[in-house]
């Protein structure tokens, strides 16, 4: 974060698309009135950038500004339909390695929901850069698509340590890690194992683990039980929206994206093009995101002042925007902002939490490598495109690899063994996985000739499109097994 000579903090402001400019203007006005010492660097991203042909949706000057300030407050950015290629939001998160997505979910006074009065006050921490969102997808046959789910040990440790640090900074006592480790033992299981490995470092925080489908269920039947919940990227994406719905929905949901080099704060909602430019937009979500920004830069007094003004205004229900006002009483964005400014300095019955700065050490490049004393190859999984039936695939392949370094162990179709047949009722598609084992393990960098020989033996009626080595690290098999294998 960049402190200027005048004692103010420089923050890049990206107003964004649709209602973005209106909610950004509103937010800046309330922050200025609250005495927040922020110097804005106004930058552009989103639809305008895509229209100019900038494929990432983010101009170089905007990236440079965030490089300088280390901080951004961002309005919603339209995801292009029909032009450009990627989401500017995702580009920014990936460029700055904003690995932690933070979504506070706190019951707001005056916002009635079926869960009002339950005292919901949790934070959902979502890993923001790994998992299926790496965007590594392939059509393996004309009818079968693949997406790689990449979860790393350092990536898991980084987000988990962040979640523990956040729990400590907010004076919370519990951290639940929610995964699908019962099914995806290596990927989702990675986060669970790392959680178990490091949780002892945080004795003031009670750790627990729950399976993610149960987490969804628990969030709906007893959401008040949660304090901080941490998840891998896709689980966190889905459950953080669910959690936001418990306290009033996306229109009032703030978020932040934190990395070692930068932090970006944004409302969860989109650009709401239907109401853009009509003085109807509710700026509460961006304002609450700005409250998170103020706490991030250590301006706890201004943060509390703005948060309390929002609470007072929502409680009294006077001059609210149409989406949250009592029927027929809605006012324009400008009047709501004027009311918020008038209420600055007042205290609501709902106190703000006591926050302290979050302390998370930056990660060094060396921490990206997990060493093993031994790395061996014990076989390969060969992914095969074939219109043949499972018996023919297994029999032909078995005959073809006779005399090679490999022997055929099993053939599976979407994870289910179909050769040797086990009597199941598997509906087979044209995408098989043949597991071929070496007679004895070889070194990780050896075996190129044997693999080339194997690939040359693939019989007619089959083609291979993906080969995965079956590794053994420090004597432990590092791949999933078929049932009974
Ligand atoms: P959306 O923009 O969130 O809008 C859905 C509806 O929610 C709006 O039509 C409006 O309802 C209401 N709404 C949302 N925010 C509001 C606010 N601040 N004040 C009052 N009402 C609000 O979702 P979408 O229509 O799916 O997405 C529109 C565009 O935004 C897309 O291009 C999408 O890709 C993009 N988007 C960007 C982000 C981001 O930048 N982080 C996030 C999500 C979506 P009424 O029409 O009933 O008034």
Q: Which tens digit of pLDDT belongs to each residue from 172-208?
A: 999 999 999 999 999 999 999 999 999 999 999 999 9
Q: How much distance in Å is there from the Cα of 253 to the middle of ligand 1?
A: 12
User: Residue 9's pLDDT is what?
Assistant: 97
The pLDDT, as a whole number, for residue 6 is: 63
- Phi/psi of residue 81, each to 5°? -120, 115
Q: What is the pLDDT of residues 364-400, one digit of tens each?
A: 988 999 999 999 999 999 999 999 999 999 999 999 9
User: Is residue 107 lining ligand 1, measured as CB closer than 6 Å?
Assistant: no
From ligand 1's centre to the CA of 218, what distance in Å?
Answer: 27
The CA-atom distances, in angstroms, between 84 and each of 56, 63, 95, 134, 253 are 7, 18, 17, 18, 28
Cα-atom radius of gyration of the chain, to the nearest Å? Answer: 26
Ligand 1 and 271: CB distance under 6 A: yes
∠ CA 342-346-352, rounded to 5°? 125
- Inter-residue contact 406 to 397 (CB < 8 Å): no
Planar angle of CA 465, 469, 473, nearest 5 degrees = 160
pLDDT of residue 27: 98
- Segments in 37-146 forming alpha helices (H): 47-51, 60-69, 88-95
Residues of the chain with pLDDT under 70: 1-6, 81-86, 484
> What confidence score (pLDDT) does residue 85 get?
56
Whole-structure pTM value:
0.94
Ligand 1 close to Cβ of residue 101 (< 6 A): no
Q: What's the rounded Cα separation, in Å, for the pair 75 and 16?
A: 5
pLDDT at 56: 84
At residue 361, the pLDDT reads 84
Distance 250 CA to ligand 1 centre (A): 8
């Amino acid at each position: 974060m960049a402190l200027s000579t005048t004692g103010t903090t420089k923050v890049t402001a990206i107003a964004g698309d649709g209602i973005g400019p209106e909610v950004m203007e509103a937010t800046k006005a309330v922050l200025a009135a609250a005495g927040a010492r922020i110097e804005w660097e106004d930058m552009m991203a989103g639809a305008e950038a895509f229209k100019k042909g900038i494929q990432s949706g983010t101009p170089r000057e905007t990236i440079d500004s965030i490089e300088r300030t280390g901080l951004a407050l961002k309005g919603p950015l339209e995801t292009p339909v029909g032009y450009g290629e990627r989401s500017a939001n995702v580009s920014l998160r990936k460029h700055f390695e904003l690995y932690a997505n933070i979504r506070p979910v706190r019951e707001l006074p005056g916002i009635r929901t079926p869960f009002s009065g339950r005292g919901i006050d949790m934070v959902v921490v979502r890993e923001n850069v790994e998992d299926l969102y790496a965007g590594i997808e392939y059509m393996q046959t004309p009818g079968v698509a693949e997406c790689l789910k990449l979860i790393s040990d350092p990536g898991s440790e980084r987000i988990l340590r962040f979640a523990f640090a956040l729990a400590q900074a907010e004076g919370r006592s519990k951290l639940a890690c929610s995964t699908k480790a019962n099914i995806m033992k290596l990927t989702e299981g990675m986060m669970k194992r790392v959680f178990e490995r490091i949780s002892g470092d945080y004795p003031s925080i009670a750790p627990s683990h729950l399976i993610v489908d149960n987490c969804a269920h628990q969030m709906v039947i007893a959401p008040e039980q949660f304090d901080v919940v941490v998840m891998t990227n896709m689980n966190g994406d889905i459950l953080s929206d669910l959690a936001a719905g418990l306290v009033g929905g996306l229109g009032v949901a703030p978020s932040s994206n934190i990395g070692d080099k930068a932090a970006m704060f944004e409302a969860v909602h989109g650009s709401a093009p239907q109401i853009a430019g009509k003085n109807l937009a509710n700026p509460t979500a961006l304002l609450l995101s700005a409250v998170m920004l103020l706490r991030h830069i250590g301006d706890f007094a201004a943060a509390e002042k703005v948060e309390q003004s929002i609470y007072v205004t929502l409680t009294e229900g006077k001059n609210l925007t149409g989406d949250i006002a009592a029927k027929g009483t809605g006012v324009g964005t400008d009047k709501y902002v004027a009311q918020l400014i008038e209420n600055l300095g007042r205290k609501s019955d709902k106190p703000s939490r006591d926050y302290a700065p979050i302390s998370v050490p930056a990660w060094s490049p060396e921490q990206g490598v997990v060493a093993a004393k031994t790395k061996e190859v014990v076989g390969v999984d060969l992914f095969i495109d074939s219109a043949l039936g499972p018996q023919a695939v297994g029999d032909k392949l078995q005959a073809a690899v006779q005399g090679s370094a490999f022997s055929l162990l099993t053939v599976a179709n979407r994870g289910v063994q179909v050769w040797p047949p086990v009597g199941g009722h598997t509906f087979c598609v044209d995408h098989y996985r043949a597991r071929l084992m070496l007679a004895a393990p070889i070194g990780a960098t050896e075996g190129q000739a044997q693999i080339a020989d194997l690939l040359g033996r693939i019989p007619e009626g089959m083609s291979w499109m993906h080969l995965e080595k079956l590794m053994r690290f420090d004597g432990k098999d590092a791949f999933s097994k078929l049932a009974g294998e």
